[in-house]
Amino acid sequence: MLYIIPTPVGNLGDMTPRAIEILQSVDCILAEDTRTSGKLFKHFLIPTKAQAFHAHNEHRQVDRIIERMKDGETFALVSDAGTPGISDPGYLLSTACHDHDIKVSCLPGATAFVPALVSSGIPCNRFYFEGFLPQKKGRQTRLKFITSLEETIVLYESPYRLVKCLKQLLEFCEEDRIACVCREISKMYEEIKRARLTELIALYDEKTVKGEIVIVLSGRS
Give the model confidence (pLDDT) of 79-108 as tens digits.
999 999 988 889 999 999 999 999 999 999
Query: In this structure, which amino acid lies at residue 83?
Result: T
Least confident span in 68-82, 93-107, 201-215: 201-215
CATH topology of domain 2-106: Cobalt-precorrin-4 Transmethylase; domain 1 (3.40.1010)
Residue 16 backbone dihedrals phi, psi, to 5 degrees: -90, 150
Rounded CA gap, 16 and 175, in Å? Answer: 42
Numbered ranges of CATH 3.30.950.10 in the chain: 113-217
Report pLDDT digits (tens) over 159-199. Answer: 999 999 999 999 999 889 999 999 999 998 899 999 999 99
Where do you find CATH 3.40.1010.10 in the chain?
A: 2-106
- Max CA distance (Å), the chain: 58
When pLDDT is cut at 50, 70 and 90, the band that residue 37 belongs to is very high
- pTM (predicted TM-score): 0.90
Q: What is the pLDDT of residues 5-22, one digit of tens each?
A: 999 998 999 999 999 999
Q: Which fold has domain 113-217?
A: 3.30.950
Distance (Å, whole) CA 96 – CA 2: 11
CA distance 42 to 194: 37
Q: Which of 51-55, 125-129, 198-202, 206-210 has the lowest mean pLDDT?
A: 206-210
Write the burial class of residue 214 (CB in 10 Å: 0-12 exposed, 13-18 middle, 19+ buried).
buried
Q: Choose among 29, 167, 20, 185: nearest CA to 119.
A: 185
